[in-house]
Structure 1
């Protein structure tokens, strides 16, 4: 007779997430900051990149391979890092919009900067979603599901348990699946391109506001880039 009190696969802790996908995403953002045209954003971008790098180093040190450990200070540093990146991206976006509207810089330079800002925005929001959802990457895997904070986002895997067997095999209920950085990166990319939720639904006010801000930023940037491209062709 089975032990009714024995934990099911759904109640077990998930395997800790790898550190490097998110770390590589952060490094791509910092590289983009450093390589932005100096005529556009000056030397401030170097200062922001240095500050973010200094915050990133201790986060990697405490969890060099998999995200298993979290302290109060490491959580604060992680959140501070994604917030600095998020605010910087929005400041860069506003500056880029002003340049696109003013039409004072040469076309290729501005269009390349637009691509860089758009890319950093996608990765930056992915990091932010990854950091806030269900308590963050460490809490998501190191606590049982019954102990997790309420979710900010609903993924398809969270409701696929009653689908066909080959689909249900990957569901949260069947395989104890939990979202990782690549999942947040994908839906950040789709949200920035489609300007609306695709397969991932926001569940909380903060999630809706963040996704709305990302979609609005992507729409404004794309509209102005297309307009600038048309003016260059003319």
Structure 2
């Protein structure tokens, strides 16, 4: 890696700007230097979609009753997080961090329970005799699974969105192509929520990493868990639906 030029630590052309900071901005890619906080709106929209999908599931595939209870709790947590950081993630607080992890954990546990109930009923032959409702329920669980794991990846990679914006760690948990091929991306490129959602989508459809590689053990285990949930649900539902249609 390049070493910063020696000097008095200041840029003479711009008084008050640390010379090393300007060197970092000119030489290092954006994902390795401090940047502005990420926009909350894409994540908030994904959470709202997940809550709506949970409400649309038939009650026989939900573990907690009344069915609106968990989506309501998720909405309350989202409102609290939005109050802390209305648009951009610029205000880091321990409470906000714990609430964010609790929110995605609630979504994941509820959707995981729905997947288990669906798979159990499919194996037992009590999931239903109509293909369309069965496929719709499986699609809702599949999409919620995709969103939940996308948020997990976004929340945990390099310590989360606040830690990434502050460039606390130079060691990524997910290796995006732009990190190794800098000439393929703009100078200000850094991974955002859409990138992690795409990683979740490809992992849930291909059941393996595609263009982005998990580097740490937790990332590999989390992707393996997502693939297992997606594969079991998809295989059982398609098999049952084909059997019904015949």
Count residues with an aligned counterpart. Answer: 222
Match of 1:67 among 66, 70, 89: 89
Contact 1:14–1:176 (CA under 8 A) maintained in structure 2: no
Give 5+ residue unaligned stretches, structure 2.
Answer: 8-18
Give the drift of 1:45: 3.2
Q: Which residue of 2 aligns with 1:132?
A: 156
Contact 1:135–1:149 (CA under 8 A) maintained in structure 2: no
Q: Does the C-alpha gap of structure 1 residues 44 and 93 become closer, same or farther in structure 2, counting only changes over 3 Å?
A: farther
Deviation readout 1:134-177 (Å, 9 max, x if unpaired): 11112211x1x3x326321111111012xxx4x2x43xxxx242
Match of 1:7 among 23, 27, 30: 23
Match of 1:215 among 212, 220, 227: 227
Task: Tell me the distance in 2 between the aligned counterparts of 1:210 and 1:48.
Answer: 23
Contact 2:129–2:244 (CA under 8 A) maintained in structure 1: no
Task: Tell me the distance in 2 between the aligned counterparts of 1:90 and 1:7.
Answer: 47
Q: Which residue of 2 aligns with 1:51?
A: 73
Match of 1:204 among 206, 211, 216: 216
Contact 2:62–2:110 (CA under 8 A) maintained in structure 1: no
Give 5+ residue unaligned stretches, structure 1.
Answer: none
Task: Tell me the distance in 1 between the aligned counterparts of 2:223 and 2:212.
Answer: 11
Contact 1:14–1:178 (CA under 8 A) maintained in structure 2: no
Task: Tell me the distance in 2 between the aligned counterparts of 1:8 and 1:176.
Answer: 12
Give the drift of 1:39: 3.8
- Higher-Rg structure is 2
Contact 2:54–2:111 (CA under 8 A) maintained in structure 1: no
TM-score (norm. length: structure 1): 0.88
Cα RMSD (Å): 1.9
